[in-house]
Amino acid sequence: MYVSALVNLYTRDIEAGLHFYRDLLGFAETFRTPAEGVPEHVELQLNGFTIGLGTVEAASRVHGVEAAPGSPAMVLVVWTENVDAAFDELVAAGVPALQPPHNTGNSNRNALLRDPDGNLVEIVAKTA
């Protein structure tokens, strides 16, 4: 009955969101509309996981939703091989950090950052 799913994040600045998810985190763009000019919806994929970025204007026009990006109702978790190196690279690129890398139990090392709209993004790796 159901065939696939994705998480759609609403954004105030889709170009900044694309830079963060595509250019800094390595997601690959798989779809955008409109195809020309500034998009109002883009889908990106990383190892089979898909996220969408949709503008707050499109959310209002298409769905009647007044989106509030950055409200901490969720966190997007992205696994990496080296949290410390990834964290340093993201912070050097200007990504706002909330929590530096730290051990959290279960052999995990985590760090917490914010995307350009203030949504929480947690990067995680297994420790040796």
The domain limits of the chain are 1-69, 70-128
In this predicted structure, the answer to whether residue 19 has a pLDDT above a threshold of 80 is yes
Segment 72-98 shows an average pLDDT of: 94
What separation in angstroms does the CA of 116 have from each of 12, 77, 85, 93?
9, 16, 20, 12
Q: Provide the mean pLDDT of the chain.
A: 93
What separation in angstroms does the CA of 113 have from each of 31, 51, 57, 83?
26, 17, 25, 12
pLDDT at 86: 97
Domain 70-128 adopts which CATH fold? Answer: 2,3-Dihydroxybiphenyl 1,2-Dioxygenase; domain 1 (3.10.180)
- 5 phi, psi to nearest 5 deg: -150, 160
| pLDDT band per the 50, 70, 90 thresholds, residue 58 | very high
Residue pLDDT, tens place only, 92-108: 999 999 999 999 988 99
Q: Which residues pair with 78 in a beta bridge?
A: 123
Domains 1-69 and 70-128 share a fold: yes
pTM of this structure: 0.87
Burial 50-61 (b: 16+ CB within 10 A, else e): bbbbbbbebbee
Segment 47-71 shows an average pLDDT of: 91
* Cα separation, 103 vs 33, whole angstroms: 40
CATH numeric code, 1-69? 3.10.180.10
Residue pLDDT, tens place only, 103-128: 998 899 999 999 999 999 999 999 97
* Cα separation, 125 vs 63, whole angstroms: 37
* Cα separation, 40 vs 54, whole angstroms: 6
pLDDT at 70: 85
In this predicted structure, the answer to whether residue 30 has a pLDDT above a threshold of 90 is yes
